[in-house]
Every structure is written in structure tokens, then in C-alpha cells.
Amino acid sequence: MKIKIIGPLTIQGDVEVTLDETLKSLYKRLGGQKIPHLIQVGGALGLLLKDYDINSRIGDLKKEFYEPSIAFLDEFCPVDYMRFMSRFVLRELNIVNEFTLKIYDLVNGMTEHKTTTTDYKYLKILLKDIPETLGEKLLLKNLSKMIEFYEEDILEHLNGNCKLGICRGLIDAQCINACPAHIHIPGFVALMKDGKYEEAYALMRQENPLSGVCGSICARPCEIRCRRGEITGTVGVRALQRFITSEALEHWKYKETCLESNDKNIGIIGGGPSGLTAAYYLKRTGYDVTIYEKHTEAGGMLSYGVPKYRLPQHDIQEEVKTIESLGITIKTNTEVGKDISFETIKGNHDAVLLATGTQVGRKMAVEHDHVLSGIDFLKGIHLNQLKDYGSNILVIGGGDVAMDCARTAIRLDSQVTVMSLESFEEMPASQEEKIQAVEEGVKFKCGFGISEVKHHNIHLHKCTEVLDDAKKFKPQFETSEEMLSDIDMIVFAIGQSKDLDYVTEDYRTINGMSLGDQVFACGDMIRPTIVIDAIAQGKTVAALIDGSLGGSGLYYGDEIEIPEKVLNIRTFDYDLREIKTLEKDDRVHSFNQVNLNYSIEDAVYEADRCMRCDRNSKTSLLLGR
Amino acid sequence: MSQDVKVYHQYDTEKKETYESVVKKWQEEKSRMKEMTDSSRVMRWSYTNGMFKYKNNPGKEITDHNPYINIIDVDEFDLSIKNHPYPPDPPAFNNKNRPNFFGTLMDEFVDDAKWYKTNLHESYERILNEAKGIDLPKVNSKKTMNESELKEAIKNHAKSLGFVSVGVTKIDRRFVSVEIDDDIIFDTVILLGYEMPHEVLYRYPKPEHDTAAYYGYAHCAAHVHGVADFIREKGYDCRARSWEGFIKYSVHAVNAGLGNFSTYGIVHTPEAGTRIKYTSIIIDADLELDLPVDYNIEEFCSRCRMCQKSCPSLAIPKEETRYRGAIKRTTDHIKCFDMMATQHECVKCIRVCPISMLGYDNALNSLPSYYQYNLISNSYKTDYKQGGSDEN
């Protein structure tokens, strides 16, 4: 039968299908890649299927085909979809009565933070109703199904958060929403366009005191969700951030003010991004802050885990200085549990924040005499302690740490192979990192796992599937003849775990930021994450600490006015100006920063491309009749 | 047809009446008016000769039930439409005593300005004459095809002449200016949209060789009679209508399923975005009407608003407002027209629009894919208004 296909597929529109096919085989046949999150069979009110249901035979679903269509939905906002369905019933099917209007009201209310928890309970009761028309019945069935599948997301919406930024009423702009720290991106871009670098930097610092660091190494969640990027090329937000920081810090006249001291003091264990961020906000709000740092320099993973070719040591220290200069004490070379006990710290401070991150790299037990975890490898190279690394290195893992290890090893004149279970495209490392690694000569063995290690030879087996149909980690292997020979060292970059030996027993289980008795935790300890998320957590935990000590909210400094000028009408003619990088030969023999900074001309050009989505309307569309 | 028109004199000098009887008569009149002003009629005041009249208005039904036109209080909307004439042109516009902005613009920026002007002038003259019944071309006495074939043939012929957006709907007289009310003698209208080329718009804000709006107008003028003659040749009577604002084409285009309203209130089509100028033909045939479609344009625009943020005259509203019974986006036409007259037709709202300049598919792909259901909902087969079987 002929069926209309909707979804992220190479073949769309009307497609001939057979009844014996499963949805999965159809999806693969039409060029589908990742397993879709949700499938809908039979029009806009048709049956919703998830996870293992993808193996259903089309013939078995025959009576569900109210309309001949199948939709494969990838990333989407469940609440917007619910809104779409209730709107569809009213506007397209023209079933307008008090009941459908009420449902629409409640569902639409979720997209603009109007539906309360009580309303939500009421909606759930309404969904049990047995209405007269088929359209309403199917609507109720599907809404209940959506609640069953995505209740967590829906509850987030009731709190006013839309993860994907589809619900306009809950967000300022998609980029601001996608950034864990909610930096006002269109705002600093507009300020920078007017040449107000210091104000732009100050605006960034209101949400993120380590903006310069993010300008170099951020994973750019904002650019992924850039509205401009969805239509043409994205705006180079990260590069602009770096440009602004370098301009502003050159003549850093902007003096940040702090509130008067409130005679309370906070101890922070760990001087990484989240610890530093929490310290910054607490200091500005009037607390005395002491940071206890194990290493000789603050910065945590930024100093020891991120290779210098991505983030020069100078950059991070410069920004640490701007935070330190507010009057924060950073006690370096002080390891808690060794140089000072946790009890002493707890006794000396009104509140204690644990921000020691994940220090221990995971390894697999293999028969090889030279095995290191990714983080130990990077730290060893950074501190110049690791001298014996051999000339043929195998890095296992497909994330950003794996790329860091591989590209560091390439700079030590070694042969490097990266092996991951996922295919090259699906490896979780950022696209930029992967491409630069290939350019520098890192070899990739994607889609394989270790089956056996014998005498420095590594036998592989092929990984056919990493995730199962429900998107759970469940690798499937096939035997394979492939082998990597003469591997001198194996580096495992397959994740890290935390080490909490230094704290007393009461605080060793962490499920949430507040551990009770004025002890808090943040950063990678809560969940392993990217740097901007760690910074966001530092800010959140600072607010939490302030609240628990009876404060009245964090102090962010004076509000900065954002210009609202008429935009350039030719903006869509200009494509993204990618940031320039060092030539390949210059890269592999030094640890110089690979990404170069924008010139002023490039920066203004790029800033001009911003669509200023923060100026868009937030009210929901009207229903019509 | 025109026999539906009834004319009532407000007063009669011949008869001598008492004041009370006049009042009584008026009361009767009023109740009759109420009766007659039902859902399919519209009442017109004419200020020049003190008359009012009722006219058939079959388009009202379509507009009132069109979910993509937000009339929320039909009574209020009807009342205001009857009582308020179209707002007058702002001073900068083509007034006899003022500079001729657009004539000069054409002379300077259009390579073949003469062709434009002649076309516009001659075609308009012919429209006016035909409306008065002067030099009316002969209609083929034999109908050569039935109405459904005719509709298909008209669409194909219009497209071959360069019209990209062709649709059929009924005239809604609430959106027809009083001045030409009597000229609209048939109820069915064929909308013909001519695209302003991408490359012409692309050169803005500094036009060369062509100007955008007048390209559209001139080509509408050049080809509208071609379509009208084609229809007459097939044996159906019709009248060409002009590209001017006397019939509000955006509403009719939305009714005919050609597009949806844009942020700046005009019609946005999948074919050319807002790079489009409409003209029309009224026809004496019951062609099958096109159904309204939701092209998800409102949804896209609400996430874009580039025109609003780039409008140099700040005439475009960010949010919809309730205005005389309807929720709509009303561009401040005084601010806008001034820009239009003094800034080479301005058209900045079109120049910056991603749908108009980058293409409908390109832009709309940024919406979640389930919105595509709206596009196919007209062809849905199941009757969702019936009670479902118990299994579900």
C-alpha cells in the first residue's frame, strides 16, 4: 500500500510498503540512521509507538491506519507535540466544543508557564473522560500516551523549562535556553557589534565568570540550537566569546563590585570550573570564600585535563585572576584529607562545597603492561611526569577525552589509533575535535571492541550495534579477524569516577546538590558533564548555599542595557565565517593553540549575522475559529 | 448576480409625511434590515448619494469558518466593516498635488519603464471600461468544457502566463471597497499571483534594472486579460480586476488555500513567500472552491520575526492585537507607506524574509516534522466527527 512518510529520512513523501515489513526495516530502507524516539502510525492522531515496538509488522498495525501515513520523530518536545495534537483537533478537524477547548487551554498553558500542578492533575482527570467523537477519543488516548512516555519532560515544563527550546513561551531565545548557564548570547553579540567589548564581557560574566575559557573550549550547545543554524549557517558564538574576552581583558578597567561582607564564610574544596564559579558568585554576594586546591594552580580539569593546544595555560590563569582579585583566598597545594582534614574545614566555615569532580579514570582489565586512564595520561603529559609512552598508542573511547588523548599523543610524535564502539559519525566527541584529529593524522578504528590482548597484539571484534531499540547501552559483537599489532600503550578514555575518601562517611553518597548539614556538592560529582554545565551548576549551588544561609539571592551586578537596533536586511546573504586554524604542520609539532582568534572585521561580520531571537514574541498563537 | 442588489431611498421629496410616520417607517425598515442582514448578506452605506443597499456575500461563510483568519467576534467585525471605509492614502502617496514618487522611481530604476507604464495604463483602462460595459469582448456562445475542466484549464493557462499562485474562492464583500462594490457582479473569484523575481529583490535596498513591486503590478497588468480572454473563449463570462487594493487579496488568498498571513499581515505563499502581487478575475461559473490550508507559516513566523526586527519604519507589530472583532497583525500603513514612497518601495520586510528569499522548504524544515500533518489534513479520509468504534 502507498503510505506518506514523514521524518528525517532521505526518501520522503509517498512510499510503497508491504505488509510483511517491520517498521524498523522500513525505516532502514528509507535511509534512516539513528533509531527514532517515537513513531506515529495513521495520521496526526494515530497510534504512538516507542522503543521495542519498532519491530512491529506493518500488517499487524493495519487497523491503526486511519490515514495512510507513518511519521518517524527524532528530537522533539513532547509538550509542543501535545499542543500540536490538541490544536489539530480544533483547527484541522474542526471539532470545537467546550471539552476540546478546555484540553487545548490546559495543554497550551504548559507552553507558556500558565498550567499549574493542580491544572495538570485536572488535565489527567479529563483524559479519563469518554467523549463522543472519534477525534476526541484518539486525542485523549494519545495525550495519555505522551504523559506515560514523557512525564518527566512535562513536569519540567510545569516548572517553566523546555529542554529543547521549542516552546517559545518558556524561553528567551533557543541559544540562551540551550546554554546550561543561560548566558544572554544575542545580548553580548549586539553589544560587541557596537564595539562595547567591556560591557559585552560584563554581560557574559553575569552568568559565566569563565567566559574566556568557554570561548576556547566550550562544546557549544548554543550553536547546535542556533535558530540561524537551522535555516542557514549558525552564528559563531564561541569564537565571538573568545574575541570579546581577549579585547576586554586587554584593558580590563571594568571593576566588578561586591556587596558588603556579611561575615559568613564558605569553604570550597576544589578549584575547578564549578568551584571557581560558585566562589565568584558567593564573593560578589558578600561571603568570604576560601578555595582549597590540591594542585599548584587553580583551574582543575581546565588546567590539567584540557590540553594546551585547546586552551593555553595563560588564558585560564588570566581569568582565574579576575575571580581571585575580588578577594577570594585560593589555598593551592592543599590536599584535603592529607594537608588539612575535612573536619577542620567543616569546623572553620559556615558552609562547605565539595567540587572535586571526577579524578579517577576508568580502565578495563586487560593483559598489557602499560595501561593508563585518559585523565592520568593527560595529567602526566601536562606535568611533564610521563616520559615513557612508546611510539604506538591505542586510545579507547569515542568521547572528547579520547580525542584529547589522541591529539596530545600525536604531538609527542607517536602513532595513534582511536578505537570506539560507535561509528565515526556517531562517536560522541564534538565534530570539530574529530575532524581536527583526522587532519592531524590520528587513525580511527571505529565500530570495534577489544576481544583479547596477547603480547602487545590486540584482537578485535566488530560492534554491530551499540544501543538497542530502546536506546539502552547494549553492544552486540561479531567475530572478526582484525588485529592491531605492537601496541606500546593503551589509554582508556571511557569515563571517570569520583573519589570521596577525603570526606566523612555521611557525605559519600551524592544524590543532589545539597548533602545536608551545610555541605553541598556540584560539578562533575553530580553528573559527568561539559565545562559550561559545571559552571552552571556552580552558579546554582551558590544560590542554594546563599538561600540556606538566609541570603536574599545572588548579586549579579547592575543590569546591562542591550541595544535593540534595526537589523541588517542582507543578513541571510552571509555565510558563517569559520574560525581559522593553524596549518597542520605547525600543529603536530607544538602545543600552540590550534584555533585562532577572529580579526575585528570577522567578528563584526559574524555579529551582524545574529537574528536576535531574544526579541521575538513569546505569546502563543491564537486559536482562530 | 446583480439582480440580488436592492436599493432603498432614504427619503422621497414627492411625498408629504408626518414625522411620526417617518419614524414608524424607519423602525419597520430597521427590523427588515436586521432580517436581511443574515449570514449571507452585507449592507452598504453610500455617503455620496445617501443610499444603502444589500448585497449577496457568499464569501462571508468561508471567512467566518476559516480557522486561519482570526475573527473572534463576527458581529463586531461585520459592524465595523460596514461603517468604516478604507483608510485614506497617506500624504506621500500618489496624490495629484504631490510628487509622483513611483512614476519617477520607474523612470530611473526600470530598464524598460515605458513598457511598465503603458501596460499598467492600458490594462487598467480596459478594466475600467469593461466594468462599465464599454468594449466588452464577446463571450463564446458555446460552452466548450464543463466547470471542473474549466478550472483545471484556467489554472494551467494562468501558470503558463507566469502566475505562480492560482486559486478559486468566493468574494467576501466585507473586504471589497465601497467604490467598486457595484463592479463586482459575479461572486466567484479567481486569484492570480505574479511572483516578483528573487534576483530583483536580491538587489535591494539599491534596485537596478527593475523594481520589485512594480514588476509585480506591471506583469499582473500584462497578463490578466490573457486569462480573462481565455475564459471567454471557453464560453464563460468574466471580468478582469485590477492589482490595486480595492479587493483585499490577502484574505481571499488565505480563503483559497494559497497561503497564510505573514508577520506583516499580507499573504505568505509556499511558492514565493511574500514576493507576490495578486490580481483577480471574477467569473460567472460555479467553479469548485479551493480549501484553506495551514502551511505552518504562522508557526514559523512566530519563531522568526526578522521583518519586524528589520523594519526601518517600525511599522510591523510584534504581537497580534484585537482590532474591531478580529485578532490580527495590522501594519501601521501610514508609517509603512511613507517608507515605501521615499525608499525605492522599501520592501525590506520581503528582502529579509527567509521564506521569501531562501525558499519555503528550506525555512520550514526547521520546524518539528509533525507539523507536516497540517499540509495533508485536507485529504484525510476518516471522519473524526463520528463516534469511534469501542475498541479505541
Q: What is the DSSP code string of A563-608?
A: --PPPPTTGGGPPP-PPPB--HHHHHT----SBPPPPHHHHHHHHT
Q: Which of residues 75-134 of A touch B (CB under 8 A)?
A: 76-77, 80-81, 84, 88-95, 132-134
Sort out which chain B residues have CB atoms less than 8 A from A92's CB and list them: 67, 294, 373-374, 377, 380
Distance of CA A121 to the CA centre of its chain: 31
Q: Is-contact A53 A90, C-beta < 8 A?
A: no
Instruction: Considering only the beta carbons, identify the residue of B319, B351, B373 that sits closest to A569.
Output: B351
Cross-chain residue pair A572–B354, CB shorter than 8 Å: yes
Q: A29-59, pLDDT tens digit by residue?
A: 888 878 888 999 988 998 999 888 888 888 8
Give pLDDT, residue B1: 37
Rounded distance, CA A312 to CA A316, Å?
A: 7
> For A184-206, what is the mean pLDDT?
92
Using a CB-CB cut-off of 8 Å, the residues of chain B touching A47 are none
Task: Chain B: give the shortest CA distance to residue A620, in Å.
Answer: 8
Mode of pairing for the β-strands spanning A415-420 and A392-396: parallel
What is the number of helices (H) and of strands (E) in chain A? 22, 20
**Chain B interface includes A579 (CB < 8 A):** no
Query: Does the residue B69 lie in any domain?
Result: no
Average pLDDT over residues B147-155: 94
Q: In what order do the strands lie in the sheet with A443-446?
A: A371-373, A489-492, A392-396, A415-420, A443-446
Give B218-255 pLDDT, tens digit per residue: 999 999 999 999 999 999 999 999 998 889 999 999 99
pLDDT digits (tens, 9 = 90+) for A131-185: 889 999 999 999 999 999 999 999 999 999 998 989 999 999 999 999 999 999 9
Query: Is residue B3 predicted with pLDDT exceeding 60?
Result: no
Q: Is B386 exposed, middle or buried (0-12, 13-18, 19+ CB in 10 A)?
A: exposed
Average pLDDT score over residue span B1-18: 54
Q: Which residues of B touch A77 (CB under 8 A)?
A: 368
Cα separation, A612 vs A224, whole angstroms: 16
**Of the candidates A432, A373, A376, A410, the residue with the CA atom closest to the CA atom of residue A218:** A432
Q: CA-CA distance, A148 to A82, in Å (whole number)?
A: 12
Element spanning A211, H or E: helix A211-217
Domain membership flag for residue B58: no
pLDDT of residue A469: 76
Which residues of chain A make contact with B319, given a CB cutoff of 8 A? 617, 619
| Mutate which: B384, B389, B390, B392, vs A, most A CBs within 10 A | B384
Q: Choose from A367-371, A566-570, B173-177, B328-332 the range with maximum mean pLDDT.
A: A566-570
Side chain identity, residue A126: L
**Region of poorest pLDDT, from A461-465, B36-40, B369-373:** B36-40
Domain assignment present for residue B199? The answer is yes
- Are the C-beta atoms of A418 and A443 separated by less than 8 Å? yes
* B76 vs A112: which has the higher pLDDT: A112
Amino acid (1-letter code) at residue A238: R
Residue B51 has pLDDT above 90, yes or no: no
How many Å lie between the alpha carbon of A264 and the closest alpha carbon of chain B?
46
Q: Report the C-alpha gap between A544 and B316 in whole angstroms.
A: 43
B380 has a pLDDT exceeding 80: yes
Most confident of A63-77, B114-128, B378-392: B114-128
From the CB of residue A151, how many other CB atoms can be counted at a distance below 10 Å? 13
pLDDT at B93: 67
Using alpha carbons, list the distances in angstroms from residue A408 to A215, A308, A375, A567: 20, 9, 12, 43
Per-residue 3-state assignment (H helix, E strand, C coil) for A451-500: EEEECCEEEEEEEEEEECCCCCEEEEEEEEEEEECCCCEEEECCCEECCC
Give the integer Cα–Cα distance in Å for A341 and A504. 10
Q: A66 phi and psi, to 5 degrees?
A: -60, -40
Q: Give CA separation, B297 vs B85, B303, B362, B364, in Å.
A: 30, 10, 12, 8
Tens digits of per-residue pLDDT, A456-485?
A: 888 888 888 888 777 788 888 888 888 888
CA distance A162 to chain B (A): 14
Domain count, chain B: 1
Which of A340-344, A530-534, B112-116, B383-387 has the lowest average pLDDT?
B383-387
* Interface mutation vs chain A, best among B309, B349, B360, most A CBs within 10 Å: B309
- The residue whose grid cell reads 558567593 is A282
Of B303, B309, B358, the CB nearest to A612: B309
Judge whether residue A297 has pLDDT over 70.
Answer: yes
Q: Is A144 on the interface with B (CB under 8 A)?
A: no
Judge whether B190 and B167 are in contact, CB under 8 Å: yes
- pLDDT at residue number B146: 93
B303 → closest Cβ in A67, A227, A571: A227
Chain B contacts of A71, Cβ < 8 Å? Answer: 369-370, 372-373
Q: What is the pLDDT of residue B48?
A: 57
Average pLDDT over residues B207-214: 91
Is residue B288's pLDDT more than 90?
yes
B contacts of A574 (beta carbons < 8 Å): none
Residue B313's closest chain A neighbor by CA?
Answer: A566
* Nearest CA-CA distance, residue B158 and chain A, Å: 27
The CATH number for A361-496, chosen from 3.40.50.460, 3.40.50.300, 3.50.50.60, 3.40.640.10, is 3.50.50.60
Once rounded to an integer, what is the mean pLDDT over residues A274-294? 92
State the Cα–Cα distance between residues A378 and A397, nearest whole angstrom: 15
Identify the pLDDT of residue B391. 46
DSSP A226: -
CB-based contact A171:A219 (threshold 8 Å): no
Structure confidence by residue, pLDDT tens digits, B116-137: 999 999 999 999 999 998 989 9
pLDDT at B195: 95
- Choose among A90, A141, A166: nearest Cβ to B392: A141
Q: CA–CA separation, B187 vs B189, rounded Å?
A: 6
Mean pLDDT value of segment A554-566: 90
* Residue contact A227–B69, C-beta within 8 A: no
Beta bridge partners of A531: none
Query: What is the distance between the alpha carbons of residues A538 and A350, in angstroms, rounded to a whole number?
Result: 18
Residue B41 has pLDDT above 80, yes or no: no
Residue A475, phi then psi, degrees to nearest 5: -65, 140
Is B12 within the bounds of a domain? no
Residue A624 has what pLDDT? Answer: 64
Residues 6+ apart with CB under 8 A from B46: B52, B53, B178
Q: Check if the beta carbon of residue B184 is closer than 8 Å to that of residue B171.
A: yes
Mean pLDDT of the region B320-334: 83
A78-107 pLDDT per residue, tens: 999 999 999 999 988 988 899 999 999 999
In the CATH scheme, what is the code of domain A1-75? 3.10.20.600
Q: Could you tell me if A411 lies within 8 Å of chain B, comparing CB atoms?
A: no
Q: Which residue of B has its CA nearest to A622?
A: B70
Q: Over range A105-116, report the average pLDDT.
A: 91
Residues 6+ apart with CB under 8 A from A455: none
The CATH superfamily of A174-255+577-615 is: Alpha-helical ferredoxin (1.10.1060.10)
The fold adopted by the segment(s) A265-359+499-548 is FAD/NAD(P)-binding domain (3.50.50)
Residue B14 domain-assigned (yes or no): no
Nearest CB to B71; choose among A141, A619, A625: A625
Residues of B in contact with A91 (CB under 8 A): 67-68, 294
Report the residue of chain B nearest A566, measured CA to CA.
Answer: B310
Inter-chain CB proximity A71 and B371 less than 8 Å: no
Task: Average the pLDDT over A289-301 and give the result.
Answer: 89
Instruction: Provide the β-strand partners of residue A473.
Output: A467
**What does the DSSP 8-state code read for residue A523?**
G
**pTM of the complete model beyond 0.90:** no
| Structure letter (DSSP) for residue A170 | G
Q: What is the mean pLDDT of chain A?
A: 88
User: Is the pLDDT assigned to residue B12 strictly greater than 80?
Assistant: no
The amino acid sitting at A414 is S
Taking the domains of chain A in order of start, what are their residue ranges? Answer: 1-75, 174-255+577-615, 265-359+499-548, 361-496
Region B21-31: mean pLDDT is: 76
Band of residue A279 on the pLDDT scale cut at 50, 70, 90: very high
Q: Report DSSP state, residue A57.
A: B
**Residue A621 to residue A516: CA distance in whole angstroms:** 45
Residue range B164-204, pLDDT digits in tens: 999 999 999 888 887 788 889 999 999 999 999 999 999 98
Residue in A115, A227, A108 with CA at minimum distance from that of residue A160? A115
Is B178 inside any structural domain? yes
Residue B2: the pLDDT is 41
Higher pLDDT: B45 or B212? It is B212
Which of B67, B312, B318 lies nearest to residue A91, judging by beta carbons?
B67
List CB contacts (< 8 A) between A615 and chain B.
305, 309, 318
| Chain A residues touching residue B275 (CB < 8 angstroms) | none
Chain B residue with the nearest C-alpha to that of A611 = B306
Query: A380-409, pLDDT tens digit by residue?
Result: 888 888 777 778 889 998 888 999 999 998
Q: Provide the 10 A C-beta neighbour count for residue B317.
A: 18
Calculate the alpha carbon distances from A74 to A8, A36, A108, B80, B346 in Å: 7, 5, 22, 47, 41
Q: Is A616 on the interface with B (CB under 8 A)?
A: yes
Q: Rounded to a whole number, what is the distance in Å from the CA of A214 to chain B's nearest CA?
A: 27
Fold match flag (A174-255+577-615 vs A361-496): no
Range(s) of the domain holding residue B321: 101-375
DSSP string, A264-283: -EEEEE--SHHHHHHHHHHH
Q: Classify residue B106: in a domain, yes or no.
A: yes
- Specify the amino acid at residue A101: L
Judged by DSSP in three states, A502 sits in: coil
Q: Chain B residues with CB inside 8 Å of A40's CB? A: 370
Would the pLDDT of A339 be above 60?
Answer: yes
Cα separation, B187 vs A530, whole angstroms: 64
Q: What are phi and psi of B65, to 5 degrees?
A: -100, 5
Q: 3-state SS string over chain B?
A: CHHHCEEEECCCCCCCCCHHHHHHHHHHHHHHHHHHCCCCEEEEEECCCCEEEEEECCHHHHHHHCCCCCECCHHHHHHHHHHCCCCCCCCCCCCCCCCCHHHHHHHHHCCCHHHHHHHHHHHHHHHHHHHHCCCCCCCCCCCCCCHHHHHHHHHHHHHHCCEEEEEEEECCHHHECHHHHHHCCCCEEEEEEEECCHHHHHCCCCCCCCCHHHHHHHHHHHHHHHHHHHHHHCCCCEEEECCCCCECHHHHHHHCCCCEECCCCCEEECCCECCEEEEEEEECCCCCCCCCCCCCHHHHHHCCCHHHHHCCCCCCCCCCEEECCEEECCCCHHHHHHHHHHCCCCCHHHHCCHHHHHCHHHHHCCCCHHHHHHHHHHHCCCCCCCECCCCC
Answer whether B319 sits within 8 Å of A617, measured CB to CB.
yes
User: What length does chain A have?
Assistant: 625
Residue of chain A whose Cα is closest to the Cα of B382: A66
How many Å apart are CA B306 and CA B301, to the nearest integer? 8
Looking at residue A449, its pLDDT comes to 86
- Smallest Cβ–Cβ distance between B302 and the set A63, A168, A615 belongs to A168
**Given the DSSP bridges, would you call strands A2-6 and A13-16 parallel, antiparallel or unpaired?**
antiparallel
Rounded to the nearest angstrom, the minimum Cα separation between A247 and chain B is 28
Of the candidates A281, A138, A569, A408, the residue with the CA atom closest to the CA atom of residue B343? A569
Contact B286, B169 (CB under 8 A): no
Q: Is residue B385 part of a domain?
A: no
Map grid coordinates 486559536 to a residue. Answer: A623
- Determine contact: A197 vs chain B, CB below 8 A: no
